[in-house]
Structure 1
Amino acid sequence: METNPVRSLTDEQVLRALLHHRRLTRAELAAEIGVSKPTAGESVRRLTERGLLADTGERTPGGRGKGRVGQYYALADPGSALVIGIAPTGVAAELIDAYGDTLARATRPIDRPAHPAAVVRALQSVTLSFGTPPGVTPQQKTAPAVTTPPAPPPARPAPPSEAQSPGKRSPTGAPSPDKAPFAERPPTAGVSDPAVSGGRSPGASPSGEAPFGGRSPGWSPSGEASFGGRASGASSSVGQAPTESSSGAPSSGSFAAAAFFSAVRPRLAVVSAADPVDRATGRLVQLPDAPFLVGSLDPVAVLSDYVDGPVVVDNDVNWAARAEPASSDFAYLFLGEGLGCAIVSDGSVQRGRSGLAGEIAHILTVGRDGRATPFIEVFRALGLRRPDSSAIDVGRLLAAPVADRRAIGKAVAGVVAAIVALADPAEIVLGGAWGPALLVEIIAAVAGTPRPLPVRASAVTGESSLAAARQDALDRLRAQIVDSR
């Protein structure tokens, strides 16, 4: 690593610029980060010698009055990270790179009731579907027979995301205009001291959590891994021969294909689980009336052989709260098949000593008969739990008569009153499969509590837990790349 602070800062700016633009010439780098051309050139030389940057082989149009020919440089290794969601219906996984592109996707269903052994098999299956056996390094791994390299980028691609990592692999170079630059990305609500385990790589960012629970758009319905899917939709023909640029040098299409298959072994994994997570170990915890996993499950132990760095685990409710924009003090109520809560204070999720803060199933609230009743028992009294399970039957709840919906609204309001007394949030955010659907009933009931406060539906639709987990994995991967300078 560069010890001169000025050079180190310049090198960091160069790496971030290339995470933003994917590839630049030395002259473009100088203009982008506001330094002289010789300073930018020296930084490129240092980073190239350390294996962090590589010449893509592409050249700017030059000669005949057009000035000197410029060489394009890109990250030598954009790396990859594994993002996994464990939900009652199955396991979903994505392999992403430091540009924020999705390299591969896979899903595996799980029979109900979910048992740890079945979840372990599903975790191993989705990870192996990406092509990296346990314990095999990127240098030992052979590329799959079928490849889907991304399309070559234009001369000056639009800005995507940010960082990269050291190595001896080739840069992708495919643009992703919808990605915000690293320095400009707004911060999400943080999670204080999540469970991070199994770290082997230097520079890994400490923080641990995990979301998911469903399938994001583009998941292969067959459950098989889908390789090469880019956020921009760019792809090229399977196994195509390298193309050539106008200068005669190989284009970055084949360059990117090599990068993808050399980087398949992820540097880290981020896991979201629909169960309580022990803060110190990342193990899932079996609590009374937990509707999903029976017994405990250790995602860190299962996945550590498949990644080169840390395995970060947290529950899906904490992840969903992190995805909520423009709020720094709120309580996020997850109301679906399971019941959960995340308290966000000063922009950080408060996880408690063991990571089990927000387990609201047994908070005493108002039952249908007006008596004090554990929250989860309200749904049994109303006949709204799934057979032989404490999981709530969402379909039946949504079709419940008005009287039952009002009773549920009062029960939720009792939980809100307890949260307000202990945590004093600025507002209540409702998420989950049925929370927003009962917004009217819940608002009316909360208005009658001693300390009413604003209640609104979550601003994030779709798989919010997955989105937050993916962003966390991306931030960690980029941090590793920048810190490796």
Structure 2
Amino acid sequence: MGVNEVGRALPQTVLREATDRRLLDETIRQGRTTRAELADVTGYSRPTVSEAVRRLVEAGLLDATGLKETGRRGRVGTFYSLGAQAGWVLGLELDQSGVHARTADLSGATLSDLRRRPTPPGDVSALVESVRAAVQAIPAGAGPLRAVGVSIANPVDPVTHQTVPLAGTPFPEGLLSPTSMIGDLVKAPVLVDNDVNLAALAEHRAGRATGEASFAYVYVGAGLGVGLYIGDQLIRGAHGLAGEIGYLPGASAPTIAADLAAGGLGRTDAPSNDVAAALMLLDRGDEAALRVLAEAVARAINSVAAVVDPALVLLGGPVGTHPALLPRVREAISFPGPTRIEYGGLGTDAALHGAVQVAVEHARAAAVAV
């Protein structure tokens, strides 16, 4: 019988869900395995594993996929793998660069990928139309759609899960609830979070921050933001506003975002950085643009490091990952701590990776729930 931390017996349904989830996760991790191997690696008894595998097969989450010779006369084992009809998830990324949709199976393996061009700044109707078109165009996976993860370039309240309107947001058209955009098109939970938080989560799960208990992910693109992991916990803040570094005081302007605009890197038709122009200037080796960017990013990192002292800072986003930026940011850092500064490992798709990962984790948990 299972016992929790204060010595009370756990309900059987909780134990059953935990067992089924552990065995589903382990089977997916191995790709193909037997009940005996699952018992060995998890420490569960063989009868417990056999009963859990039976439930997972009946639910369509696992399939028997062949026989394994055991080396003992007359004895064979059965291989099990993720079920062909186990279901799939959808990840969406909504930001100034357009709409990016990706489907994946419950292992997180990509099934299909679709991009749509950016819509006019501030045009809510055009964004909604583009998001709906992407959801309707991307091919479905096998089995049920189990969850939709949405990355959006605005802060998201951790309690209400609604986008938070801020003055001067670089993505004002993205303030509408994604659930209201596509809720009638998908029959699955819609899980919404801020793009930088999801990028940090993805780096923590499968990127360069794997194994790091405390790190910061600094995003530089149309907007500025930082995702914070402290003590293995993603920090969102009371209102979802933790990490809005674009609003930190600038060197010669009211905010860091305004510093970049004053340095010629802002768009004239929207309250955001001009990503295309910034990348062009960096590609050309424009010293003035590089200095403005490096000093702004270093100023943000100095502030973050002085408050939370992360072991690692990762640069991400379409501008943050430019190869010219990292060396200059390192030179401009004044914080005396031994913080390492590196590029993120998942490139400019980090936020979409995070949206898919959140959907996969939710889908697996919900699939084994009694």
Scaled to the shorter chain, the TM-score interval is 0.7 to 0.9
**Match in the other structure for 2:329:** 442
* Residues 17 and 32, structure 1, Cα contact 8 Å, conserved in 2: yes
Please list every run of 5 or more consecutive structure 2 residues that lacks an aligned counterpart in the other structure. 1-10, 204-208
Alignment of 1:73-472 (within 5 A): 75=83, 77-130=85-138, 225=139, 260=142, 262-263=143-144, 266-294=145-173, 296-324=175-203, 325=209, 326-367=211-252, 373-393=254-274, 394-398=278-282, 399=284, 401-436=286-321, 437-447=324-334, 451=336, 453-462=338-347, 463-472=349-358
Tell me the alpha carbon deviations over residues 135-187 of structure 1, each in whole angstroms, 9 at most, x when there is no partner.
Answer: xxxxxxxxxxxxxxxxxxxxxxxxxxxxxxxxxxxxxxxxxxxxxxxxxxxxx
Q: CA deviation at 1:353?
A: 0.9
Deviations 1:327-349 (A, max 9, x none): 32233221222111222211222
Would you say the 8 A contact 1:93–1:106 is kept in 2?
A: yes
TM-score by length of 1: 0.60
RMSD over aligned Cα atoms: 3.5
In 2 relative to 1, CA 397–347 (structure 1 residues): closer, same or farther, beyond 3 Å? farther
Name the CA distance, whole Å, in 2 between partners of 1:456 and 1:395: 20
Deviates most, 118-127 or 328-337: 328-337
Q: Name 2:38's counterpart in structure 1.
A: 32
Q: Distance in 1 between matches of 2:306 and 2:161?
A: 29
Greater RCO structure (CA 8 Å; 6+ sep): 1
Q: Deviations over 1:244-300 (max 9, x none)?
A: xxxxxxxxxxxxxxxx1x43xx12111111222233333333323222233721012
Q: Counterparts of 1:54 and 1:411 in 2: how far apart (Å)?
A: 50
Question: Kindly tell me: are residues 121 and 3 of structure 1, through their superposed partners in 2, closer, same or farther at Cα, counting changes over 3 Å?
Answer: same
Distance in structure 2 (CA, Å) of the matches to 1:432 and 1:473: 21
Q: Structure 2 length as normaliser, TM-score?
A: 0.77
* Structure 1 portions without partners, runs of 5+: 131-224, 229-259
Greater shift, 69-78 or 386-395, is seen at 69-78
SS of the counterpart of 1:111?
coil
Question: Identity rate of aligned residues, in percent?
Answer: 33
Distance 2:29 2:239 in 1: 38
Tell me what 1:479 maps to.
365
Contact 1:83 1:93 in 2 (8 A): yes
- Which is greater in Rg? 1
- 8 Å contact from structure 1 (residues 81, 96) kept in 2: yes
- Aligned residue for 1:19? 28
Alpha-carbon separation, structure 1, partners of 2:224 and 2:15: 51
Aligned residues: 341
Deviates more, 1:6-15 or 1:413-422: 6-15
Give deviations 1:180-210, integer Å, cap 9, x for gaps.
Answer: xxxxxxxxxxxxxxxxxxxxxxxxxxxxxxx
Quick one: distance in 1 between partners of 2:242 and 2:265?
Answer: 25
| 1-structure distance, mates of 2:271, 2:31 | 49
Using a 3 Å threshold, how does the CA distance of structure 1 residues 328 and 73 change in structure 2: closer, same or farther?
closer
